[in-house]
Amino acid sequence: MRARWATLWEIPQAISFAIANAVKGALDHRIFSYPTTRIMRSEDDEGNAMAYLPVHTGAILESLGWADALDAEHKALAAVVASEEIEREAWQLGYREVFFICSDERTDEFCEKRLGYERVHAMRKRL
């Protein structure tokens, strides 16, 4: 068994595998239009496809810190200004998703209601 990046000719099969597992895999079809998307292919010893795994680049925001004396309004404004600039730069780099790792319920709620974030389940592995 080995893994390699899929060729252009293998993309239709990769998409059909993704569609066949769309519900269980929570397929977001938009990833196939992201400029940074590539697809990893796992294959058996005879070269038959076993799995395809789309990969794309995104920005990960983590561990927001505040100056001591900021009130809630200025905290929100500072976070919005920073995140908007990150989104502009990320878009220019071809990123189409931004992930915000946070553990504060009020921040989570603000991100959902005011900034357009959605809750997703994610797994993290440090390399």
- For residues 56 and 96, the answer to whether their CB atoms sit within 8 Å is yes
Closest CA to 63 of 117, 103, 93, 35: 103
Q: Which of 49, 5, 56, 51 is nearest to 25 (CA)?
A: 51
Domain ranges of the chain: 2-55, 59-115
pTM, whole model, 2 decimals? 0.84
For the record, the structure tokens of 40 come out as: 């990893």
Q: Hey, what are 37's tokens?
A: 């998307």
Measured N-to-C along each axis, helices 72-92 and 105-115 cross at an angle, to the nearest 10 degrees, of 60
Tens digits of residue pLDDT in 55-107: 999 999 998 898 999 999 999 999 999 999 999 999 999 999 999 998 889 88
